[in-house]
Structure 1
Amino acid sequence: MKSLLLTLALVLTLAATSLAGVKGYEMNYMAGDTLLRGYLAVNEDLEGRRPGVLVVHEWWGLNAYARERARMLAELGYTALAVDMYGEGKTADHPREAGQFAMEVRQNLPLAQERFTAAMAMLQQHPSVNPDQLAAIGYCFGGSVVLEMARTGLDINGVAAFHASLATENPAQPGLVRAKVRVYNGADDPMVTADEIAAFKAEMQSAGADFRFINYPGATHSFTNPGADELGKKFDLPLAYHAEADASSWQDLQEFFAEIFR
């Protein structure tokens, strides 16, 4: 019954994103010589400036899922920018291509920083956004990106990573992590090992970071994405949607934002 109620709550949340007031706009911006194609969601029924949230896509690229999460954030009263980390709005239809796109960014931290901060600057300049109140969330590949940005000392209120890789070649240094950190992980995700979790927690503790790590029993990789089951079957990957973990992590995210944007 609890799982059914949580599923119902999530469906209602998804439906709410279509309410009047929430508008979505395709946004072009530059990082160096690369054209990036983002998606901005804003509730135009609200007045005044509000916190801005960057949404970083899964390894598939900036697709409908990342856009929908941006719209859900707009319905909550934030202005959200779903960012393009690949350039030209590229998306992948196969894990082989997605992996190639993701590694090009993950193995080049300066490139990732350039593209992320370009999106951040554009969001800060939007008339609906308080430039001093910013957060970033990311899914899978995107979760890894926001964690890397936190490790670099990015001046942002908070980051939240959903079913992300925790491994890094650039561990956080003591005192450098300014953002508060949330990690939402599927406890049954074979892509994130117990050793990686232990190493991540030790890294954050050593850095003096304000962080919280939440494990969801029964949840595996991509547990927030309703399309994960189909993708998992199609490509024989350990991907599966988990409605209870999705609803619970989304609720915790809202509480996290209430904390960092006080």
Structure 2
Amino acid sequence: MKKLWTLCAALLSVATMASAQTKLSCCAKPATTANATEAFAMLATNEDFSGGHDAPLPYAYEGQGQMIEFKTTDGQTGKAFEIKSNVRSDKYLFIIHEWWGLNDYIKKEAATYAKELKGVNIIALDLYDGQVATTADEAGKYMQAVKTERAEAIIKGALLHAGPNAKVASIGWCFGGGWSLQTALLAGPKAAGCVMYYGMPEKSVAKLKTLNTDVLGIFASQDKWISPEVAAQFQKDMAAAKKKVTIKSFDADHAFANPSNPKYSKEFSAQAHALALDYLRKSLKLKS
């Protein structure tokens, strides 16, 4: 989650070039892109986007958990970082990484949620198939390589790994926020909850009608890309789909929950985390 506000800024630039008459946010579907989730791949060739990311500081995670492999629905294998509950449980939280990939910072996030959500298995999915970026150029290439079909196959494989009785909640930020919502859609009856931090909403009301869970959307009122208008449209689309969504907007800028971002707000980040944690505990029916 390194300065991800630039991700949305760059997407806006790409969308504008695609259609000079159409003004799009990072949550809008570019006219030249069939699938909204693939819009992020377009950013790999945008110098403003790539150049706006500082490389993550060296960090080595040494806590609990292990990397696992599982079969994916396209006949391949997928990877994830898993922290199993210390008690038998069919409850899961899927965490979706941002553009650097499944690095040790994401593993640290997974460990934090493992401590806070007792009785829940934590799986941090790897949508980059083992690639972890340390430079903006690498991250751009890996992100560009993400295809919707492959990402969905990884998510479906993880759902199969969780088992037929699994109850799955998901969480992610920006890139991961959009995929958190897609995970909830793919989970079908297994879906138990969905948290998306300033992520790309699904635009299809028909698809939203298939959701089997409510959604907690955390947004920022000063966000110029995933703007209040985008959040409001998502709320309207969810209402049209007759699905429940809770929209919480903080008086902050995009990526305010990212400590590495200049727009980081310690106060609002803590409030948002507490909100997400309370939501996940209720969604997964955990004891406080």
User: Which of the five TM-score ranges fits, normalised by the shorter chain?
Assistant: 0.7 to 0.9
Cα distance in 2 between the residues matched to 1:103 and 1:200? 26
Q: Counterpart amino acid of 1:118?
A: G
- Structure 1 consecutive aligned stretches of length 4 or more whose deviation exceeds 6 Å: none
Once residues 149 and 172 of structure 1 are traced to their aligned partners in structure 2, the CA distance between those partners, rounded to angstroms, is: 16
Contact 1:30–1:36 (8 Å) recurs in 2: yes
Report if the CA contact (8 A) 2:78-2:157 is conserved.
no
Cα deviation per residue 1:140-171 (whole Å; 9 max; x = unaligned)?
A: 111101212334573311111112123x4544
Aligned pairs for 1:192-211 (under 5 A) are 192-211=226-245
Report SS of the residue matched to 1:228: coil
Aligned equivalent of 1:66, options 106, 112, 125: 106
Superposition map of 1:1-262 within 5 A: 23-31=64-72, 32-44=74-86, 47-49=87-89, 51-76=91-116, 77=118, 78-87=120-129, 89-95=130-136, 97-102=138-143, 104-105=145-146, 108-124=147-163, 131-151=165-185, 154-155=188-189, 156-166=191-201, 168=202, 170-173=204-207, 175-218=209-252, 220-229=253-262, 240-262=263-285
Higher relative contact order (CA 8 A, sep 6+): 2
Letter in 2 for 1:56: I
Describe the superposition over 1:10-56 as per-residue Cα deviations: whole angstroms up to 9, x where unpaired: xxxxxxx99xxx72111122323544331112353xx3325211100
The RMSD of aligned alpha carbons is 2.6
What CA deviation, in whole Å up to 9, does each residue of 1:50-98 have, x standing for no partner? 52111000122111222112111111212101000121x2123444553
Partner SS, residue 23 of structure 1: coil
- 1:138–1:162 Cα contact (<8 Å) kept: yes
Rate the CA distance shift 1:64–1:223 in 2: closer, same or farther, 3 A: farther
- Segments of structure 2 that go 5 or more residues without pairing to the other structure are 1-60
How many percent of aligned residue pairs carry the same amino acid? Answer: 21
Deviation of residue 121 (structure 1)?
Answer: 2.1
2: distance between equivalents of 1:58 and 1:146?
11
> Partner letter of residue 98 of structure 1?
A
Report the CA distance shift for 1:170/1:61 in structure 2 as closer, same or farther (over 3 A): farther
Q: Distance in 1 between matches of 2:166 and 2:76?
A: 26
Structure 1: how far apart are the matches of 2:149 and 2:111? 29
d(CA) in 1 for partners of 2:199, 2:232 = 14
Between Structure 1 and Structure 2, how many residues are aligned? Answer: 221
Q: Residues of 1 paired with 2:280 and 2:228: CA distance? A: 28
Please identify which structure carries the higher strand content: 1
